[in-house]
A and B are shown apart, each in its own frame.
Chain A
Amino acid sequence: MSEDVLKINDLKVRYGGIEAVRGISFFVKKGEIVTLIGANGAGKSSTLRAISGLIKPAGGKVELEGEDITAKDSTTIVSKGLMMVPEGRRIFPNLSVLENLKIGAYLRNDDLEEDLNMVYGYFPRLKERSWQAGGTLSGGEQQMLAVGRALMGRPKLLMMDEPSLGLAPIVVQDIFEIIKRIHENGTTVLLIEQNANMALHVADRAYVIENGKISLEGTGKELLADEKVQAAYLGARG
């Protein structure tokens, strides 16, 4: 029971009259990589934003390692070990690459050397550019920086919102390789994607979100083989 790192129960998000998330429940176990896939506007980002405290959910419960963190402020949530890579990377363009990494560890007061080396190990290119302003990096490099920044917070759960968005296919491959390695090295990952094919291949388990509700769930393999998923998300004909 307590091996659920994240447990979401009947989460609801409303924007004025629009109900973007209509009662979603799912969980992520320690060591897993779980993906939420869904089309544009399905409510994926709203779900993540409600979990990380950026918006107040209209209902439901969010538990991190058994502790209720529903609608807590984001500082508290980050301090409990939940880090997010936001949609569109959102690196700080005016901060250097090194500062962008350090700011991911904003709430930590211990030595960052080891973690910096770990991040530079995943992304050697960031080390070469550590004095460059974040805004001067390419899209792919910015995505790596955003992932590295989140890792600097030593997350118990790393949440990523569409890390493949707007990147060239070859860069997407790189990013997914790294996600796999990060996961293999012991980080629990919640991955949000529209790129269902890539996401389902790396995921232990997956959920499909449609119109703010979960319509399907299963292991990555099961969903890859599912006809509805193939038709709607994998571009298969028939």
Chain B
Amino acid sequence: MGTLACGKVHIMEYVISVLLSGISVGGQYALIAIGYTLVYGILRLINFAHGDVFMVAGLLGIYLTATLPIPVSLPLVIVFTVLLGFTIERAAYKPLREAPRMSVMISAIGVSYLLQNTATYVTGGQPMTYPTIPFLSDTVNVAGTQTKWVVIITPFLVLILVTFLTMLINRTKVGMAMRAVSKDFETSRLMGIRINSVISVTFIIGSALAAVGSTLFFTNYPAITPMAGAMPGLKAFVAAVFGGIGSIPGAVIGAFIIGICETIIKGLPSNWDVSVFSDAFTFALLIVILAFKPQGLFGEAAADKV
């Protein structure tokens, strides 16, 4: 990357490869961003621990694939990540249901550090190499560019998962309960809805998607450190804000935009010397857009939680 390509063919290939990897990174951010936006939608909580749950899912991937065959270990990664997300909510957020929102947020920051510190303890702080997942890591030729299968698969997988999630939320009883609880806890209770179960469901979905995202993301990533969840987590969070926090399509579209922007900037010719600023550029772009559209792309006009 970064070398100025000469000749039309090379430029085309170059553009395609940048777009492909942008879409793929965006898709991975999208899987994390949904977790932020779902939890925010229902609890009005920015779950600072979510990026670290994503990191733990990565580590689980390393440890589990080391001892178990892939068809067993990858589903287990999802199961354990879901358990982690569920437990975090029950232990750190549920007891603070009636507390001021700031207290819950501090609790979330605490959980985030707890996960990072535990990861440091377990790994000894050493960067851990993510295993090569067959097929996902295999290379494929697309329009003359070499890329990994994971890059091709990610956007499709994201679309399938988002379609399922949207159907769950719009067409099922539990989805209806999620939408009701996101507006009004008390009246939801009066309908007989167990709001704690509904809240748990959102954490379960968010964690499961983060687990899937971790496998896709870390396959393309050199190593996992205890901080490995921070940056993708932050970007996914920004994607969720950008799309209008609380909105699933918003989070997905926001994530794709961020992924593509970031990859384009990183892929600019190296003699322009801008690629190191890709994160700062991405955030600057968002600030500009949010200045014009404070609620994000699909955000509600006001926080109308009763």
A92 at the interface (CB under 8 A from B): yes
For A149, list chain B residues within 8 Å (CB). Answer: 191
The CA of A165 and the CA of B180, in the complex, are separated in Å by 23
Measured in the bound complex, the distance between the Cα atoms of B194 and A106 in whole Å is 10
B102 within 8 A of A: no
A-B contact pairs, 12 of them (CB 8 A): A54-B189, A75-B189, A75-B192, A75-B194, A78-B190, A78-B191, A78-B192, A90-B190, A92-B179, A93-B183, A102-B176, A103-B180
| Cβ contact within 8 Å between B179 and A94 | yes
Which of A51-94 touch B at CB < 8 Å? 52-54, 74-75, 78-79, 83-84, 86, 90, 92-94
Nearest-neighbour CB distance to chain B for A159, whole angstroms, equals: 10
B138 within 8 A of A: no
Q: Provide the bound-state CA to CA distance between A75 and B193, in Å.
A: 6
Contact B192–A86 (Cβ < 8 Å) = no
Given contacts A90-B306, A92-B184, contact A106 B191 (CB under 8 A): yes
A139 to B173 Cα, complex, angstroms: 26
Is the CB of A95 closer than 8 A to any CB of chain B?
yes
- Asked if B187 is at the interface (CB within 8 A of a chain A CB), the reply is yes
- Report B180 CB to chain A, min CB distance, Å: 5
Q: What residue of chain B has the Cβ atom nearest to residue A89's Cβ?
A: B187
The residue on A at minimum CB distance from B170 is A99
**Could you tell me if B179 and A106 are in contact, using CB atoms closer than 8 angstroms?**
no
In addition to A54-B189, A84-B190, A95-B176, 20 A-B residue pairs with Cβ atoms within 8 Å of each other are A54-B186, A74-B189, A75-B189, A78-B192, A86-B187, A90-B184, A90-B187, A90-B190, A92-B184, A94-B179, A94-B182, A94-B183, A103-B176, A103-B177, A104-B191, A106-B191, A106-B193, A107-B192, A149-B191, A153-B191
List the B side residues contacting A90 at CB < 8 Å.
Answer: 184, 186-187, 190, 306
CA distance A8 to B209 in the complex (A): 48
A163 to chain B, nearest CB (A): 15
Query: Are A153 and B192 closer than 8 Å at their CB atoms?
Result: yes
User: Which residue on B lies nearest to A78, using beta carbons?
Assistant: B192
Query: In the complex, A76 Cα to B304 Cα: how many Å?
Result: 28
The bracket for how many chain B residues form the interface is 10 to 19
Distance of A72 from chain B, by nearest CB (Å): 12
Residues in B199-219 with C-beta less than 8 Å from chain A: none
- CB contacts (< 8 Å) of A74 on chain B: these are 189-190, 192
Contacts of A104 in B (CB 8 A): 191
Min C-beta distance of B283 to chain A, whole Å? 31
B residues apposed to A, CB below 8 Å: 173, 176-177, 179-180, 182-184, 186-187, 189-194, 304, 306
**Which single residue of chain A is at the shortest CB-CB distance from B197?**
A75
Q: Which of A75, A95, A104 has the most CB of B within 10 A?
A: A75
Question: What are the residues of chain B within 8 A of A92 when measuring CB–CB?
Answer: 179-180, 183-184, 187
Contact-residue size bin, chain A (C-beta under 8 Å from the other chain) = 20 to 34
B180: A residues at CB distance < 8 A: 92, 95, 103
- Bound-state CA distance A44–B169 (Å) is 36
Once bound together, how far apart are the Cα atoms of A90 and B187, in whole Å? 7
Closest chain B residue to A83, Cβ basis: B190
Interface string of A140-181 (1 = CB under 8 A from B): 000000000100010000000000000000000000000000
Q: For the complex of A and B, list the 9 residue pairs with the smallest distance between their C-beta atoms, beginning with the closest.
A: A78-B192, A107-B192, A74-B189, A90-B187, A106-B191, A106-B192, A75-B192, A92-B180, A103-B191
Q: Closest Cβ of chain A: how far from B246's Cβ, in Å?
A: 11
Pick from A54, A94, A106: contact of B177, CB below 8 A. A106
Give the distance in Å from the alpha carbon of A149 to the alpha carbon of B190 in the complex: 11
* B173 / chain A contacts, CB cutoff of 8 Å: 106
The residue of chain A having its C-beta at the shortest distance from the C-beta of B192 within the complex is A78
Give A52 to B187 CA distance when docked, in angstroms.
11
- Of all chain A residues, the one with the shortest Cβ separation from B185 is A54
**A94 CA / B305 CA spacing, docked (Å):** 12
- Which of B176, B184, B189, B194 contacts A99 (CB under 8 A)? B176
CB distance from B206 to the nearest CB of A (A): 20
One of B179, B182, B183, B190 near A86 (C-beta < 8 A):
B190
CB of A132 to closest CB in B, whole Å: 15
Bound CA span A84–B188, Å? 11
Q: Which residues of A contact B182 (CB under 8 A)?
A: 94
Chain A residues, Cβ within 8 Å of B192: 74-75, 78-79, 106-107, 153
Residues of chain B within 8 A of A153, CB atoms compared: 191-192
Complex contacts, A79 vs chain B, CB 8 Å: 192
Q: Which residues of B contact A95 (CB under 8 A)?
A: 176, 179-180
Taking the closest CB of chain A, its distance from the CB of B60, in whole angstroms, is 34
Most A C-beta atoms less than 10 A away, residue of B187, B192, B304, B306: B192
Set of chain A residues within 8 Å of B194, measured between Cβ atoms: 75
B179 A52 Cβ-Cβ under 8 A: no
- Residues facing B in A29-48 (CB within 8 A) are none
CB of B108, distance to nearest CB on chain A (Å): 25
